Amino acid sequence: MRVFTVHHREGEVPRLRLLPERFSGWAFLLGPVWMIRHGLWLALLGYLAATAAIALLPTPWIGWAVLAVHLLLGLHGHDLRRWTLRRRGFAPAGVVVAADEDEALLRLIRARPLLARGALA
């Protein structure tokens, strides 16, 4: 079973987002591309600043520091997405536990039918 956090935004066109609570392998492997894909522009600026600072380290430490940054991206990538959604007006609406995203959406709609408008938009 996987855990998903639910984020909802009211407005003319309501929106609903389900984000998994897990390690992000794509953020670990392709951090900058993954951040661009998800529109995490401030996180990307932070990543670029961190890699610029890492370039100032002595040569033997650069590889370990880059590995550490990418490990942190993998561990906290979805947290960066939650932070970005919060900045864009999405409010946390709950937590759903399900086998996959489709089942999580069905469980959410069954428990809170008013959120279905945002799921279909």
Tokens at 93, concatenated:
């609406």
How does pLDDT run across 14-28, given as a tens digit for each residue? Answer: 788 999 999 999 999
H or E element that contains 113: none
Rounded to the nearest integer, the mean pLDDT of the chain is 91
Domain ranges of the chain: 2-120
Count CB neighbours of 103 within 10 A.
15
On whether the CB atoms of residues 47 and 73 are closer than 8 A, the answer is yes
| pTM as predicted | 0.86
